[in-house]
């Protein structure tokens, strides 16, 4: 047999592949031209009504485990019922527990024992006075605190800074070992730029400095400002523990009462600012006891799921999932970009009431005119906490996951600009790029294909299970994760267009003779769409890991690294568990992307991972971040 040379064989393979593509395309084109673009009347008013309700103040930003999200769940469930979707296990609700943060147990208390000096009475004859503080009024624990109890003398240590380069040290001449240290901090909403110590104001650094000086606990107190008595969000420093250190915040007025009149706290602060020199003080005759206990705040929540059975005897055995998350961040509980003093409802009109409205509208349309394949409509919870709802779905699928041939995700489709729709995941199947191109020919919407498949929303949960996905997204805006993401700013005409494209896409895939073929991430993966950096954070730094959503309390597990990425170059591997990114402890995707946003391309960051048997090996990598290639 004549040896067939390598080149000939490749030519052959390419030949067969091209023929196959041609066949598929002809099939698709033939199928395509049978598709018409459907415009459904009154779509705009229907979706506006849905969004107005879901983003109304009475739903309080739909945070998991709150009455607000329960109202949203009832609303969606009622729509599924009225539309006639089929529930699984005779319920539209798939319940799941989620960790929403940390909460205080009953063992949180602060009290003082102190002497009030009286003229002419020797100290040893003075009877100690006692005072207990009210939790949430006089003080609150901060999430980075360790649990435990400590009693000790109290030392005021100015701004808690040791800056050798400017020969400034708030710990000079005082021993704080085993003591409780009071440290002044800035008020988050207005960083004092002009302060001579401004560049040393990072609070985590101050906490670590106190720990390194042997303090047993740190009491954060805001410097003199209008918001000196308002509390930080308990999770504003993340939740990385500080090796046994107890960390609380005190109300400024409450703690000031324990300073001697002659050396009042604001006097000491003024003196430091005036003389640009440290001033620390052991509070006389005062002992403080702090007990802190925070536990995971696990709350019940649910995905809302219903199905429209397919019309074809064979193809109805396969299903398509249409998804949109219906949770949001409540009063700014997590990942808020809002720095205001007063807590405010984050209405989440675009993120993601718009997607849920799209989901509800698609359910009605597909129910009226079913596809050959079955379609499952899923409103996911817990997306803002790390795509927890969709992750739970893929690990507890109501319908066999190997029958799920495609997932379409709506997340922020309500703020179309320039008639443009961004579609992520187009390279998760070989046929998608051509399909989207053909739709954009037929429809007037400008479709931008983002080759990225692992865009940070619920589609990622399905893609890691080798299911082709598309994620519709109209772009980031300055109201992202702010209270100002309100229904009045929704472009319902734009969303109606998005849904037109969505319906065409669903009908094409749902009625096609062949299911879309899954495609793994391509090494040459490039993106034609670069979402603008989130206002107030982020700089386009690229790290390049593939998330794995198998929950682990140890940190955040990765399914691998993107080809040619900084993470790959540094040596990270599939199944590594990332525990630290820089100085941030990492427990979820959300925390990792927030940590990455703190860095710029070119920055070198320390990444700690666990791997090996029982994850007993701890490895530290120096990762040089890059800019995402255009
Ligand atoms: Zn979202």
Centroid of ligand 1 to alpha carbon of 204 (angstroms)? 29
pLDDT tens for each residue of 104-148: 988 999 999 998 888 888 888 889 999 999 999 999 998 888 899
pLDDT higher for 403 or 523?
Answer: 403
Q: Do 354 and 372 sit in the same domain of this protein?
A: yes
Average pLDDT over residues 316-330: 97
Please report which confidence band the pLDDT of residue 9 belongs to, taking 50, 70 and 90 as the band edges.
very low
Average pLDDT over residues 4-20: 49
Centroid of ligand 1 to alpha carbon of 486 (angstroms)? 14
CATH number for 566: 2.30.42.10
User: Residue 173: what pLDDT?
Assistant: 95
Instruction: With respect to residue 429, please indicate whether it lies within any of the assigned structural domains.
Output: yes
Percentage with pLDDT > 70 across the chain: 86
Q: Do 259 and 311 sit in the same domain of this protein?
A: no
Which of 446-450, 535-539, 550-554, 615-619 is least confident? Answer: 535-539
**Given a cut of 60, is residue 595 above it in pLDDT?**
yes
Centroid of ligand 1 to alpha carbon of 382 (angstroms)? 10
User: In 384-518, which residue ranges form alpha helices assigned H by DSSP?
Assistant: 388-395, 432-442, 459-463, 492-511
Please report which confidence band the pLDDT of residue 243 belongs to, taking 50, 70 and 90 as the band edges.
low
**SS3 sequence, 480-491?**
CCCCCCCHHHCC
Helix or strand or coil: residue 88?
strand
Centroid of ligand 1 to alpha carbon of 424 (angstroms)? 14
Q: Do 207 and 77 sit in the same domain of this protein?
A: no
Centroid of ligand 1 to alpha carbon of 351 (angstroms)? 5
**Given a cut of 90, is residue 413 above it in pLDDT?**
yes
Q: Do 311 and 395 sit in the same domain of this protein?
A: yes
Domain boundary (489, 510, 531) is at: 510
User: Residue 560: what pLDDT?
Assistant: 78
Instruction: With respect to residue 381, please indicate whether it lies within any of the assigned structural domains.
Output: yes
Centroid of ligand 1 to alpha carbon of 352 (angstroms)? 5
Domain boundary (257, 292, 327) is at: 292
User: Residue 122: what pLDDT?
Assistant: 86
User: Residue 102: what pLDDT?
Assistant: 83
**Given a cut of 50, is residue 492 above it in pLDDT?**
yes
Q: Do 461 and 603 sit in the same domain of this protein?
A: no
**Given a cut of 80, is residue 199 above it in pLDDT?**
no
**Given a cut of 50, is residue 630 above it in pLDDT?**
no
CB burial string 42-62: b at 16+ within 10 A, e below: ebbebbbebbbbbbbeebbbb
Instruction: With respect to residue 357, please indicate whether it lies within any of the assigned structural domains.
Output: yes
CATH number for 117: 3.50.30.30
Q: Do 233 and 327 sit in the same domain of this protein?
A: no
Q: Do 337 and 246 sit in the same domain of this protein?
A: no
pLDDT higher for 214 or 117?
Answer: 214
Q: Is the CB of residue 351 less than 8 Å from the CB of residue 328?
A: yes
Instruction: With respect to residue 520, please indicate whether it lies within any of the assigned structural domains.
Output: no
Average pLDDT over residues 446-472: 86
CATH number for 27: 3.40.630.10
**Given a cut of 50, is residue 64 above it in pLDDT?**
yes
User: In 175-264, which residue ranges form alpha helices assigned H by DSSP?
Assistant: 203-212, 252-256
Instruction: With respect to residue 460, please indicate whether it lies within any of the assigned structural domains.
Output: yes
Strand partners, 380: 325
Range with top average pLDDT, 12-26, 259-273, 608-622: 259-273
Please report which confidence band the pLDDT of residue 452 belongs to, taking 50, 70 and 90 as the band edges.
low
Average pLDDT over residues 478-501: 95
Q: Do 113 and 155 sit in the same domain of this protein?
A: yes
pLDDT higher for 194 or 276?
Answer: 276
CA distance 114 to 126: 10
Q: Is the CB of residue 376 less than 8 Å from the CB of residue 342?
A: no
- Pair of tokens at residue 396: 């507890």
Q: Do 61 and 143 sit in the same domain of this protein?
A: no
Instruction: With respect to residue 44, please indicate whether it lies within any of the assigned structural domains.
Output: yes
- Pair of tokens at residue 264: 């009042």
Instruction: With respect to residue 239, please indicate whether it lies within any of the assigned structural domains.
Output: yes
Domain that holds residue 199: 107-292
Instruction: With respect to residue 517, please indicate whether it lies within any of the assigned structural domains.
Output: no
User: Residue 522: what pLDDT?
Assistant: 67
Q: Do 141 and 191 sit in the same domain of this protein?
A: yes
User: Residue 234: what pLDDT?
Assistant: 73
Q: For ligand 1, a single-atom ion, which residues have Cβ within 5 Å?
A: 351-352, 411
Q: Is the CB of residue 210 less than 8 Å from the CB of residue 181?
A: yes
User: Residue 144: what pLDDT?
Assistant: 84
Domain boundary (241, 262, 292) is at: 292
Centroid of ligand 1 to alpha carbon of 58 (angstroms)? 19
Centroid of ligand 1 to alpha carbon of 562 (angstroms)? 23
User: Residue 551: what pLDDT?
Assistant: 62
> How many structural domains is the chain composed of?
3
Q: Do 303 and 288 sit in the same domain of this protein?
A: no
Centroid of ligand 1 to alpha carbon of 213 (angstroms)? 42
What does DSSP assign to residue 548? -
User: Residue 193: what pLDDT?
Assistant: 54
User: Residue 258: what pLDDT?
Assistant: 95
Centroid of ligand 1 to alpha carbon of 24 (angstroms)? 34
Q: Do 43 and 119 sit in the same domain of this protein?
A: no
């Amino acid at each position: 047999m004549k040896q067939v040379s390598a080149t000939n064989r490749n030519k052959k393979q390419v030949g067969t592949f091209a023929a196959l593509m041609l066949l598929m395309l002809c099939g698709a084109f033939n199928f395509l031209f049978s598709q018409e673009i459907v415009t459904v009347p009154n779509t705009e008013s229907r979706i506006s009504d849905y969004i107005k309700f879901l983003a109304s103040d009475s739903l309080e930003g739909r945070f998991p485990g709150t009455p607000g999200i329960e109202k949203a769940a009832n609303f969606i469930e009622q729509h599924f019922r009225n539309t006639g979707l089929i529930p699984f296990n005779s319920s539209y609700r798939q319940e799941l527990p989620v960790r929403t943060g940390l909460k205080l147990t009953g063992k949180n208390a602060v009290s003082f024992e102190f002497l009030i000096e009286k003229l002419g009475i020797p100290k040893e004859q003075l009877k100690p006075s006692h005072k207990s503080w009210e939790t949430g009024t006089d003080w609150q624990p901060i999430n980075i605190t360790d649990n435990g109890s400590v009693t000790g003398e109290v030392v005021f240590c100015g701004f808690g800074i040791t800056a050798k380069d400017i020969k400034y040290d708030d710990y000079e001449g005082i021993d704080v070992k085993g003591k409780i240290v009071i440290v002044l901090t800035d008020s988050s909403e207005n960083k004092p730029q002009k302060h001579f110590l401004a560049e040393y104001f990072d609070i985590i650094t101050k906490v670590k400095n106190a720990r390194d000086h042997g303090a047993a606990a740190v009491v954060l107190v805001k410097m003199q400002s209008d918001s000196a008595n308002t509390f930080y969000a308990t999770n504003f420093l993340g939740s990385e523990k500080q090796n046994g250190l107890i960390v609380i915040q005190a109300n400024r007025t409450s703690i000031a009462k324990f300073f001697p009149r002659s050396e009042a706290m604001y006097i000491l602060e003024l003196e430091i600012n005036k003389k640009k020199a440290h001033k620390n003080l052991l509070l006389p005759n005062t002992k403080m006891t702090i007990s802190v206990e925070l536990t995971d705040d696990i709350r019940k929540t649910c995905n809302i799921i219903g199905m429209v059975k397919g019309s074809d005897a064979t193809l109805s055995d396969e299903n398509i999932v249409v998804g949109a998350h219906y949770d949001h961040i409540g009063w700014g509980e997590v990942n808020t970009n809002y720095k205001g003093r007063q807590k405010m409802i984050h209405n989440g009109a675009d993120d993601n009431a718009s997607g849920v409205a799209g989901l509800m509208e698609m359910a009605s349309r597909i129910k009226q005119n079913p596809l050959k394949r079955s379609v499952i409509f899923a409103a996911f919870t817990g997306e803002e906490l790390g795509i927890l709802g969709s992750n739970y779905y893929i690990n507890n699928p109501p319908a066999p996951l190997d029958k799920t041939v495609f997932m379409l995700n709506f997340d922020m489709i309500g703020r179309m600009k320039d008639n443009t729709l961004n579609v992520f995941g187009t390279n998760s199947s070989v046929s998608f790029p051509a399909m989207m191109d053909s739709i954009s020919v037929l429809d007037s919407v400008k479709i931008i294909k983002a080759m990225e498949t692992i865009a940070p929303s619920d589609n990622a949960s399905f893609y890691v299970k080798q299911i082709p996905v598309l994620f519709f997204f109209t772009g980031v805006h300055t109201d992202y994760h702010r209270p100002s993401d309100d229904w009045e700013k929704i472009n319902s005409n734009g969303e109606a267009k998005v849904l037109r494209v969505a319906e065409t896409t669903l009908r094409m895939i749902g009625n096609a003779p062949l299911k879309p073929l899954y495609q793994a991430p391509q090494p040459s993966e490039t993106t034609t769409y670069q979402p603008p950096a989130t206002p107030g954070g982020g700089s386009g730094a690229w790290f390049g890991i593939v998330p794995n959503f198998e929950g682990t309390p140890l940190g955040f597990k990765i399914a691998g690294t993107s080809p040619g990425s900084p993470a790959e170059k540094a040596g990270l591997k599939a199944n590594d568990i990332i525990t630290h990114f820089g100085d941030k402890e990492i427990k979820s995707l959300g925390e990792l992307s927030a940590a990455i946003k703190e860095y710029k391309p070119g920055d070198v960051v320390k990444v700690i991972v666990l791997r090996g048997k029982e994850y007993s090996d701890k490895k530290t990598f120096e990762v040089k971040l890059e800019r995402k290639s255009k």
